[in-house]
Amino acid sequence: MKLLKLALRNLLGARLRTWLNVIVLSFAFVTIIGLQGVYEGMNRQAMQAEIEAEYGGGQFWHPEYNPYDPLTLQEAHDSPPPEIQEMINKGEATPILILQGTAYPQGRFYPVLLKGIDPGQKILNIPSFVLNDQEEEFPALIGTRMAESLKIKAGDKVTLRWRDVNGTFDAREATIVHVMRTTVQAIDQGQIWLPLEKLQQLAGMEKAATIVVVDKNIKNIPENAGWVLKDQKTLLRDIQELVKTKTVGSSILYIILMLLAMLAIFDTQVLSIWRRRKEIGTLMALGMTRWSVVKLFTLEGALHGILATLVGAIYGLPLLTLFARKGWGMPEAVDSYGFAIGERIYPIYSGGLILGTTLLVLIVTTIVSFLPSRRIAKMKPTEALRGKIQ
């Protein structure tokens, strides 16, 4: 306890030199927590959006379905197996029929995916209810990105062409009944949503589906249902890997900030030992062991980390709280990145993040403080009193 009081008194006695180091270290501390919170918020926001709008609690895929190969769509359809059909009948899942097609807006042609969905479904956060429009013979739903690409708006008509079950081309004129705004590009760009039964009838694929999306609240999903089960973890893997890559890239900034702060503390410790060599000799002459003096100087350095935590909490807590409440506005260009984030990112600061960063700063500060302090163990009291240091 006496050693702690002495270390604190010496540290506060350094005044400006101490507070400059503390401010630099607290800045690194707050910056690391702030950026990590942004990535965590972006990760959770993107995953939540994908789950609600596209993935649900998981998906059953037709064995021939490959989302990266549109040529498989012609064969990737069939009536769902009995186990999956039972879930559909209970409202625990919704089927989606996917066909490769072409849109002809204003004399141009545009490759699209035609997706048939039940207008009454409640599984996905898609305004499919607009497809119940009784006034239009063939209503269609698109997203804002698709509307911009096709240069069409709600109320416009567009000719759609596809191949039916026999491989014969068929075409109909669809009416855009609604343009939805969504952060999930995968259900927007290159997609046109149509009533499931209508698309099944026109394509000659009665009761057929390509994928079946399960409700996110269903926990026990049958794995051996005849189709390929893709659970949430599998479907969200790409997002998690992308965020992990971004986090690793940002570690370079963390390392630079920590190195700057640690360099300042290291230089301060070296300078302090050199300037206080007579004091060190006096302490040894009064009976303090060499390693006790090493502990004293190491403790002084470690207290930089504790003071930095307190100072960082003073200005960082209200700043990060405001940041988490107001969010971080995203430029319009982010909308084309294919990452499901909204107009604002709301950071998330978990207890593990704050505690882990605090422990990291304290441990690194203690180690950096100890390294130059080891020289004290080689000093002789008589030489230290004369102002000499090895």
Q: Which of 364, 346, 350, 385 is nearest to 304 (CA)?
A: 364
Separation of first and last alpha carbons in the chain? 30
User: Residue 386: is its pLDDT beyond 60?
Assistant: no
Residue 339 has pLDDT above 60, yes or no: no
Average pLDDT over residues 255-282: 73
Q: Do residues 181 and 135 share a domain?
A: yes
Average pLDDT estimate for 33-48: 83
pLDDT of residue 249: 67
* Residue in 181, 132, 135, 177 with CA at minimum distance from that of residue 154: 177
Residues 133, 196, single domain; the answer is: yes
The verdict on residue 11 lying in a domain is yes
116 beta partners: 97, 194
Could you tell me the residue range of the domain that residue 76 belongs to? 58-220
Q: Are residues 81 and 209 in the same domain?
A: yes
| Whether residues 104 and 146 fall in one domain | yes
Q: Has residue 226 been placed in a domain? A: no
Which of 190, 220, 250 is the last residue in one of the domains?
Answer: 220
SS3 of residue 156 by DSSP: coil
Q: What is the mean pLDDT of residues 56-75?
A: 88
In a domain, 112, yes or no: yes
Q: How does DSSP classify residue 80?
A: P
Give the CA distances from residue 277 to residues 24, 224, 297, in Å, rounded to whole numbers and listed in that order. Answer: 27, 76, 12
Do 213 and 94 share a structural domain?
yes
- With a cut of 90, say whether residue 36 has pLDDT above it: no
Asked if residue 308 lies in contact with residue 357, where contact means CB atoms within 8 angstroms, the answer is no
Instruction: Report if residue 360 sits inside a domain.
Output: yes
273 and 203 share a domain? no
Closest CA to 268 of 310, 297, 307, 309: 297
- One domain, residues 178 and 298: no
Q: What's the Rg (C-alpha) of the chain?
A: 32
Compute the mean pLDDT over every residue in the chain, rounded to the nearest whole number.
81
Q: Are 108 and 188 members of one domain?
A: yes
| Separation between Cα atoms, residue 9 and residue 186, nearest integer Å | 61
317 is a domain residue: yes
According to the model, what pLDDT value does residue 103 have? 93
Poorest-confidence range of 54-58, 139-143, 261-265, 379-383? 379-383
Whether 144 contacts 136, CB under 8 Å: no
The verdict on residue 285 lying in a domain is: yes
Tell which residue, 220, 219, 199, has the closest CA to residue 210: 199
Average pLDDT over residues 102-123: 90
Co-location of 123 and 22 in the same domain: no
pLDDT for 232-246, tens place per residue?
A: 888 888 877 777 776
Task: Note the pLDDT of residue 209.
Answer: 93
Measured CA to CA, the distance from residue 342 to residue 329 in angstroms comes to 9
Residue 357 pLDDT exceeds 60: yes
Whether residue 225 is contained in a domain is answered as no
The pLDDT of residue 351 is 81
Same domain, yes or no: 65 and 204 = yes
What is the number of structural domains in the chain? 2
177 and 42 housed in the same domain: no
- More confident call, 176 vs 383: 176
- Residue that finishes a domain, picked among 192, 220, 248: 220
More confident residue, 101 or 267: 101
Can you give the pLDDT at residue 119?
92
pLDDT tens track for 141-178: 999 889 988 999 998 999 999 998 888 899 999 999 99
Going by the DSSP 8-state scheme, the letter that residue 94 receives in this structure is E
Q: Mind listing the pLDDT tens digit for each residue in 283-315?
A: 766 667 777 777 777 887 778 888 888 888 898
* Confidence tier at 335 by pLDDT (50, 70, 90): low
More confident residue, 280 or 331: 280
Classify residue 159 by its DSSP letter: E
Most confident stretch, 60-69, 220-229, 298-307: 60-69
162: in domain: yes
pLDDT at 277 exceeding the cut of 70:
no
Single residue among 171, 189, 220 that ends a domain in this structure: 220
- Using the predicted structure, report yes or no on whether residue 341 has a pLDDT greater than 70: no
Predicted local distance difference test score (pLDDT) of residue 252: 77
> Looking at residue 94, what is its pLDDT?
94
The rounded distance, in Å, linking the Cα atoms of 255 and 99 is 49
Position 363 scores a pLDDT of 85
In this structure, the answer to whether residues 131 and 13 fall within a common structural domain is no
Q: What is the value of pTM for the model shown? A: 0.74
Q: Which residues contact 352 (CB under 8 A, 6 or more apart)?
A: none
